[in-house]
């Protein structure tokens, strides 16, 4: 590892992303340009190589959630550029047709009846009303998302079904925003460039959940993915990944489930002194080569602690 440390990059989707309110998509052209920059200025690496000595800063490319475009769009580019990628798969969504709840929420708010000024969420702890109608759709999305995030994932889907029925509007995710099927996961895992890693069974926010529940979803995702892929699963990423999305119980559970590392989305460079179960990452957006290079310059300038 160099003095300024290694950089772990966090992507989600590599797609044109016509409907992409949460800005999860990087276009294939920008992804290719970004990987070229990584190869030019860094040492493309896997998470297991993170602490090995290197002349150039190690760079690990990770993709979260397990979208199908990781296979169809990201993999061919990674293979062409010979850059390893790590894919954190939400194991319970493999082969799932329902879609991730944030993609469903995006459709629901877009297709709401004209003049709808609030969303009414009949949660198990009472009805929550959230005002809508900001001139920027992302503001509405974020305010509804904030209320849904702490709930069990099954309840979030039930609430989305309820509102979809109330409004007579679709809550189907965009067709291209689907997760990998089991056979697609096997195909992805078969590439020498790919490390499959875990991301819980259902993408629940772990923070505050009973320790046993956390351990169950963390270790089951590992077991399920090992069975599906036929490979050892050694790395984990906390869903959402910020300080408010996991706690000490999550870290203990990841360690006792036998993982080598766990990634957060807390920004920073990974240092020799970094806790392997709280590794920082840099979120990459749909940046051009030039914009990515600017980000790279900034990340490398992070002062030493
Ligand atoms: Zn995720």
Euclidean distance between CA atoms 293 and 291, whole angstroms: 5
Q: Rounded to the nearest whole angstrom, what is the distance from the C-alpha of residue 262 to the centroid of ligand 1?
A: 13
Rounded to whole angstroms, what are the CA distances from 110 to 106, 140, 157? 6, 10, 17
65 alpha carbon to ligand 1 midpoint, in Å?
Answer: 5
Ligand 1 centroid–CA 134 distance in Å is 26
For 235, phi then psi, to 5°, come to: -130, 150
The reported pLDDT for the residue numbered 1 is 53
CB 301 within 8 A of CB 26: no
131 Cα to the center of ligand 1, angstroms: 26
Helix (H), strand (E) at residue 48: none
Which tens digits make up the pLDDT trace of 41-82?
Answer: 999 999 999 989 999 999 999 999 999 999 999 999 999 999
How sure is the predictor about 2, in pLDDT bands with cuts at 50, 70 and 90?
low
Count of other CB atoms within 10 angstroms of residue 159: 25
- pLDDT tens per residue across span 150-160: 999 999 999 99
Instruction: Give, to the nearest 10 degrees, the angle between helix 101-110 and helix 137-148.
Output: 140
pLDDT of res. 48: 96
Q: How far is the CA of 55 from the centre of ligand 1 (A)?
A: 31
**pLDDT, tens digit, 9 for 90 and up, residues 175-201:** 999 999 999 999 999 999 999 999 999
Phi-psi region of 241 (alpha: psi -120 to 50; beta: other; left: phi over 0): left
**Closest C-alpha among 93, 94, 151, 101 to residue 122:** 151
The one-character DSSP state at 231 is S
Output helix, strand, coil percentages for the chain, rounded to the nearest 5. 40, 20, 45
Tell me how far the alpha carbon of residue 200 lies from the centroid of ligand 1, in angstroms: 9
Rounded to the nearest angstrom, the distance between the alpha carbon of 171 and the centre of ligand 1 is 20
74-131 tens-digit pLDDT = 999 999 999 999 999 999 999 998 999 999 999 999 999 998 999 999 888 889 999 9
Give residue 11 CA to ligand 1 midpoint distance, Å. 10
**From the CA of 117, how far away is ligand 1's center (Å)?**
29
Residue 301 is predicted with a pLDDT of: 62
């Amino acid at each position: 590892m160099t003095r300024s440390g290694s950089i772990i990059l966090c992507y989600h989707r590599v797609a044109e992303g016509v409907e992409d309110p949460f800005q999860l998509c990087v276009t294939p052209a920008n992804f290719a340009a970004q990987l070229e920059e990584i190869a030019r200025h860094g040492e493309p690496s896997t998470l297991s190589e993170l602490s090995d000595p290197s002349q150039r800063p190690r760079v690990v490319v990770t993709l979260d959630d397990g979208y199908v475009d990781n296979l169809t769009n990201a993999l061919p580019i990674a293979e062409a550029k010979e850059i390893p990628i790590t894919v954190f798969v939400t194991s319970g969504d493999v082969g799932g047709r329902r879609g991730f709840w944030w993609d469903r929420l995006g459709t629901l708010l877009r297709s709401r009846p004209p003049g709808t000024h609030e969303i009414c969420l009949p949660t198990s702890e009472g009805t929550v009303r959230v005002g809508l109608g900001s001139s920027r759709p992302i503001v509405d999305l974020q305010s509804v998302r904030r209320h849904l995030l702490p709930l069990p994932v099954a309840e979030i889907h039930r609430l989305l079904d309820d509102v979809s029925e109330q409004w007579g509007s679709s809550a189907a995710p965009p067709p291209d925003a689907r997760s990998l099927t089991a056979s697609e996961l096997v195909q992805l895992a078969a590439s020498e460039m790919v490390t499959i890693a875990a991301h819980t069974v259902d993408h629940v926010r772990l923070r505050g959940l009973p320790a046993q529940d956390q351990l169950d979803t963390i270790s089951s995702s590992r077991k399920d993915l090992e069975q599906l892929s036929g490979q050892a699963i050694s790395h984990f990423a906390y869903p959402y990944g910020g300080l408010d999305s996991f706690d000490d119980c999550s870290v203990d559970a990841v360690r006792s489930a036998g993982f080598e590392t766990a990634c957060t989305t807390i920004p920073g460079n990974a240092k020799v002194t970094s806790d392997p179960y709280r590794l920082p990452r840099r979120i990459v957006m749909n940046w051009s080569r030039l914009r990515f290079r600017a980000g790279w310059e900034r990340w490398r300038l992070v002062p030493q602690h």
